[in-house]
Structures are given as C-alpha cells and as structure tokens.
Structure 1
C-alpha cells in the first residue's frame, strides 16, 4: 500500500516531483530572527497568521456565494476561491514577515503530493468503513447518483484552510518556539477540541480527532516538509466520508451523497462514532493511529526531528 513507498528513495523522488523530503522550514529571519524572546514572537506571529488565514478565506467564500448565481457549481467555485485566498494570504505574509519563500507550499510538488495524499485519505476511510461493515456496526445503503459539487467544495476548503491554520501555522510556529513534541501536543489538542462545538460532539470525539488527525496529518507535514500530502489526506477523508459513504462528517451533513451510512444504535457510540460520524469511532482511531505512528517513525528515521539552530 502507499505507505511502503516512503521507504524507497526512488518512489519519494516521484511523488515529490524531484523535490525530495526535507525537514519543515521553521523560519529564522525578520520576526523569527534568533535572539531575545523569539518564543514569544513566534507565538504572537502564529496568532496573527491564524486569524489572517481565517479572515481571508471565510469572507471570500461568503461574498462570492452571494454575488454568484445560486447554483451548486457557483458555490463550489466560491469554496475553492476561499481556499486559494487563504493560501495567497499565507504566502504573502510569510514573505513579508519571515523574509522567505514558503517552501511548505512550494508549487512544483503540489500535484504529485496532493494526489498521493488523496489516495491515502480515501484508502484510510474506506478501510475504516470496511471494518465497520465487516462487524455489522453500520448500515450502508446506496442512493444512486448525486451532485458532487457541494461535497467537493467543502472538502477542498476544509482541507486547505484547516491544514494552513493548524499545521503550517500552529504546528510550525509552536515548534519554532518550544520544539516538536510540544508543537504536536498543542496543535493536535487544538484541532481536536476545536470540534467540540460541532453538532453531536463529545469529549471522546474531540480526543479521537486530536489523536487521529492531529498527529497523523502533522506527521505527513513533518516528513515531507510541505502541507500538500496533509491537505490531500484531509480532503479525501472528508469527501469519502461525506459523499461516497454519506456518513456524518464531524457531526454535520456534508450535502448530497451517493450512499447513506448510519451507525447501528445497538452498539456503543465509542465503537461507531454515533451521530458525530465514524471519525469518532474506535476503528478510525486504530487506523489513523497506525498510519500516524508509521509516518512519525519515518520522519524520525529521516532525522526531521533533530535539533536545529
């Protein structure tokens, strides 16, 4: 399966478009220059970038959604524009505030790494639902053809914007301030408990998301030095969950789907995810944790956690 490709340098050369894997760039110029209180400057910069990404994406999507015709295709375009606005705002801010080209969103490896992430994300969620159906934990019914635009737009926007905010900003800059392990703990916890206000959310659901996605998606970033694989995994997981299987996504409805998947009420919520969706289930926790630990191990072996000046 795809993770085995990481062990071969030739395969890495292919899925990175010849760029290879490298430690993520933390930033060390201008606002992040070495010296007194760099940890505090890094945290302040993280907060500023976090809100910049949010306030460049969401208003763009809302404004375009009102200006464009009220069709599914137009709403998809508005969602994509919101994602691109967050990327552009982040790139400009890093160039101005950190005095560097943001290698974490380098364009040359975008397509192969994104495709690689999409493949992994879809395969992971399919594996989770395979376990669910094998043990009769879920009822999965085919609904036939359905418009894809709503689910695709939501998957793209959530994948891009959340990975910029949580990985490229929070994980990277807390790593700059305090090192990798605190950075992983903080970014994973914020990502998990950021879902606590979602419909049907529970503390267990937030813990699952923190351990599943918070660690696993950060591990892909730490391994490759770029966020494209993380974006691909994130978007494909949501799309496969919400459109292909028609399950709840973080407690919400993802729009029209080609199937409908519901947890069987006879089983406990910690086993199925209940109304929150399969990502709050034990099978999802196991699958994502295995992938996350494997990728973390690969990043460790590549010395991407080694102390740097």
Structure 2
C-alpha cells in the first residue's frame, strides 16, 4: 500500500484538496497567509526594532516572544480550519531538541564565516566589552520565528503544493534575497548572497525535518551570533550593543568582506551557507521529502 507518512506534508485536504485548479488555490492561500503574517511580523518589529538600536530589557523581549508565539498559534489555527490538519511543521514535541540543534548549528556556521574573514585578513575584531544582549535577542527571536514562518511554512510549502519542489525552492530563495534589498547598505550582490546561502540553506533544514524548529533555531542563532557575539552588521543593520566588535579593514575588497552589509555578503559566508544548503538538500532528497505526501492512503490489501 501507499505509505501515508512518506513525503513532505504540504497540505492535501479541504482548501487544498485534489481537484481542478489546486495550484491556483494554493497560490491564493499562500498570498492571503503571507499578508496576514506579514502584519503579525510588523507587530513584533514595533517592539523588537527599538530594542535592536539599544540595550533593551527582558520584559520587552518577552513581549516580542509573546507576539511570535501568538503568530505560531494563529498559523496552527488557520491551517487546522482551512487545511483540515494540525500542522506537523509546528510539532511541539520535537521543538526543544530541534531548536537546540538549530541554535548550535547557526552559531557555529556564522562563527566559521567570521573566522574565515579574520583568517583571510579582511576583518578586524576587537573586544570584549560590557554590552546588553536583550536587544539582539529580541531581533533574533522575531526574525527567526516570523521569517521562517513566512518564507518556509507559507511560501515554500504552498509553492511546492502548487508547482513542485524545484520551482518552490528557487522562488522562495529569490524572494528572500529580494526582500533584503530594503535593508540599509544592501546591494544586488548582498541580496544574491542571502538568497543562496540563507534562502536555500534554511529551506534545506525545513525540507529535511519537515518542521520549522531547526530552521528557526539556525536563523535566530545566526543573527544573534553575528550581531551580539561578533558585533558585525546584521543584514546591513549596524549593531549598537555587542560583546565583540567586528568590521572590514579599510580597503578590503567588498566581494570578499561583505562591506557595510556585513558578513552575510562575504565570500566565507557564501561558502559556509552554500555547503550547508547542499548537504541538507541532498539529505532531504534522499529521505524522500522532495515529494509531497500522497493525497490518499490506499486501503490495505486483504
């Protein structure tokens, strides 16, 4: 019989049931969810962004976490109503271990990229110095949770439902990179770097596990380690409070150092992120998660 547990769960009931124009229903549903959760993200940013400009406080970080938690709960509710399933991409039983793995991997990857910049002689690193971490924690939570919900659980999943995995992978990565063009100090090279090293890499963790938690952990730890631990610009946004201070040396080639956008636009980050993307995507393909889960489970043979 067909194994109902093989493949990635991308939605197959109620609004996404098999039938005419399912691709169009999936795209329309994706657009509606994207608008709704962009508004939720904006709510988190009204609290989180001021913190990123200064030290922040624990209570304000808890407010950001509460908004993001409410966003995840809202996603679970609307998917249950419209798709007839509780989203296993938010399986709470797997969250603690997945998040811990993601946090460790994200911190290690970003540190490897900064280490590469230092080894190449294009970055100065100074410190340590006293600094509050609360503002960067708030930024890491809001970006990790809400951007993964938007880009992987909504855009990637529903484009995969509509058109298959390869068009979905390319489109969500390109969109992720393009959205970063609105950041300070952004360039087309920086956007392309984000699309490849982050858009494909974070998608790889989602496709591999079928859940958001590792991707959330990697994303949050990558941003926190970049901003507070190493004190480098995060996606073009300079940090104020950081333990260390890292910046390109004067005259360092921008294609190598990332320039004012920060390490994410650098060659070492591209190498680290792209290698992680290739490994996770290959592993997900071997696991069978490049295919959507079958629509109907065949009855057992007598």
Per the normalisation by structure 2, the TM-score is 0.90
> How many Å apart are 1:110 and its aligned residue?
0.1
Where in structure 2 are the equivalents of 1:139-178 lying within 5 Å?
139-178=124-163
Q: Which has the higher contact order (CA 8 A, sep 6+)?
A: 2
> How many Å apart are 1:64 and its aligned residue?
10
| Cα deviation 1:17-40 (Å, max 9, x = unaligned) | xxxx96431101111011111101
> How many Å apart are 1:172 and its aligned residue?
0.1
> How many Å apart are 1:304 and its aligned residue?
1.5
- Please say if residues 52 and 89 of structure 1, whose CA atoms lie closer than 8 Å, have aligned partners that are also in contact: no
Q: Residues 201 and 100 (structure 1 numbering): CA distance in 2 closer, same or farther, change over 3 Å?
A: same
Aligned-partner Cα distance in 1 for 2:242–2:173? 29
Aligned-partner Cα distance in 2 for 1:64–1:199? 17
Q: Residues 64 and 267 (structure 1 numbering): CA distance in 2 closer, same or farther, change over 3 Å?
A: closer
Aligned-partner Cα distance in 2 for 1:262–1:133? 10
Q: Please say if 1:56 is aligned against 2:40.
A: yes
Aligned-partner Cα distance in 1 for 2:40–2:137? 20
| Cα deviation 1:24-80 (Å, max 9, x = unaligned) | 3110111101111110100010011112112234336637999xxx95223212221
Q: Residues 251 and 149 (structure 1 numbering): CA distance in 2 closer, same or farther, change over 3 Å?
A: same
> How many Å apart are 1:227 and its aligned residue?
0.7
> How many Å apart are 1:169 and its aligned residue?
0.3
Q: Residues 80 and 283 (structure 1 numbering): CA distance in 2 closer, same or farther, change over 3 Å?
A: same
The match for 2:264 is: 279
Query: Which runs of structure 1 show a deviation greater than 4 angstroms over 4 or more consecutive aligned residues?
Result: 63-66
| Cα deviation 1:81-122 (Å, max 9, x = unaligned) | 221122111111101111100000010000000000000000
Aligned-partner Cα distance in 2 for 1:22–1:139? 48
Q: Which moved more, 1:144-153 or 1:235-244?
A: 144-153
The match for 2:253 is: 268
Unaligned runs of 5+ in 2: 295-302
Unaligned runs of 5+ in 1: 1-20
The match for 1:116 is: 101
Q: Residues 242 and 71 (structure 1 numbering): CA distance in 2 closer, same or farther, change over 3 Å?
A: closer
Aligned-partner Cα distance in 2 for 1:213–1:82? 24
Aligned-partner Cα distance in 2 for 1:201–1:159? 20
Where in structure 2 are the equivalents of 1:234-249 lying within 5 Å?
234-249=219-234
Q: Residues 71 and 231 (structure 1 numbering): CA distance in 2 closer, same or farther, change over 3 Å?
A: closer
The match for 1:182 is: 167
